[in-house]
Amino acid sequence: MYDDSGQVKTTYSSFLTQIHNRGEGITPPPRLDASIPASIDILYEKDDCVLVLDDLCPLESKNAMAKQEETLIQVTRIVGDGTSPARKRGNKTPSKPPPKRGVLFTAEYPIGVGSTAARLLSIQLKQSIDDRRFKKCIDKPLAISTFHHFFITWMVENFENIMDLLKKWWDEYTQMNLGVHKRLRETHFYLNTTNKIFLLYCLEKGFTTEESAKREQVNFQNHLNDLVMLQEKRVQQGKFEESKSVDYLKLIQSMVKQGNFYLAKNSKKYDSDYHDGLIHNDLLCLRSDVLLNEIRKVIPTTTLSEIKNALNAKNALKLDGEGKNYKIGNNRFYGIYVNKLK
């Protein structure tokens, strides 16, 4: 789950994952900048809840960002595959079964590195949490945890029927071609069927009507489809990192084709409050902050100097007489020759 800083995402995430046991309030999540061994130990502390790790954020230090990324990647692989880095004790290397819990990361940007991206589903909070309504939920822990208790009880009582449904739905899934990575297809299945089971419970208990349940399921599935397809793009884009030398020009070309940038047609129509850049004198002119943020969605540890050097090496970047970024009026841009993007 990611959004800008200060959007209550950490508290919200902790609340969502601690609904079932609210007697002692909300426990603050551990930080993502913990060492990998410490994070592994945290994974095995409990096996009955989702662990929230806070907070993947852009940093000035490239080494610090790389450390965050490595911790996230290792934790994701342990949960997804049950594989963890070996830690020797004396002459013995202990082995552990996969942890029986999920992990929710809070972040200020989505990770997008090759196959690791396929193990994750990035969900962006596009608007701030309603503090007033959220506080009402926090102040009523008994009501919410009681509902959760009855829902879990119902699933246990109907375990065999639910398993039959899951087998039927999985057979249907195997016949479908979502056109995404296998791991993302599995994620889609887990989340989509979980929502369907929840709606079956609400329908049986009279909390909703059949018409409303169908509408809610369609809306949920459409939204889930969008999230999965967006992550699939990150999986594909992450392949740019498989080589030691990233082709930034090719990456930017891909982003332009996918419509990642909102561009003005010329300098007269350019508005810095609305546009990411403009087309000017056969140049794609992009604001440096926008370009860096977009590329960091794919390569989180990149820097502006790396992008600039890579584009210069391909003679794709237009600079002014002093070697500075291209200037239009009072604004400076990364001016990339349009013919180099074709």
Binning pLDDT at 50, 70 and 90, where does residue 23 land? low
pLDDT of residue 321 exceeding 90 = no
pLDDT at 88: 41
Residue carrying the six token digits 């594989």: 83
- The phi-psi region of residue 241 (left if phi > 0; otherwise alpha if psi is between -120 and 50; otherwise beta) is alpha
Mean local confidence (pLDDT), 32-51: 77
For range 96-118, the mean pLDDT: 74
* R_g (Cα) of the chain, nearest Å: 23
Of the pLDDT bands very low, low, confident and very high (cuts 50, 70, 90), residue 5 is low
Q: Stretch 194-205: mean pLDDT, rounded?
A: 95
Q: Is the pLDDT of residue 242 over 50?
A: no
Output the pLDDT for position 302: 78
106 near 54, Cβ under 8 Å?
A: yes
Residue 288 neighbours by CB distance under 10 Å: 15
- pLDDT band with cut points at 50, 70 and 90 for residue 191: very high
| pLDDT tens-place string over residues 47-58 | 667 888 887 777
- Check residue 182 and give its pLDDT: 86
Amino acid 21: pLDDT: 63
Which pairs with CB-CB distance under 8 Å and at least 24 residues apart come from 213-219? none
Between 224 and 116, the higher pLDDT residue:
224
What is the per-residue pLDDT across 287-317, written as a single tens digit (0 to 9) for each? 998 898 888 776 766 788 889 988 999 999 9
CA atoms of 40 and 62, how far apart (whole Å): 23
Distance (Å, whole) CA 204 – CA 177: 32
Give me the half-sphere count of Cα atoms (radius 13 Å) on the Cβ side of residue 177.
1
**pLDDT at residue 162 in the model:** 96
Smallest Cα–Cα separation from 198: which of 217, 221, 218?
A: 217
Q: Is 302 helix (H, G, I), strand (E, B) or coil?
A: coil
Nearest to 46 by CA among 100, 104, 93: 100
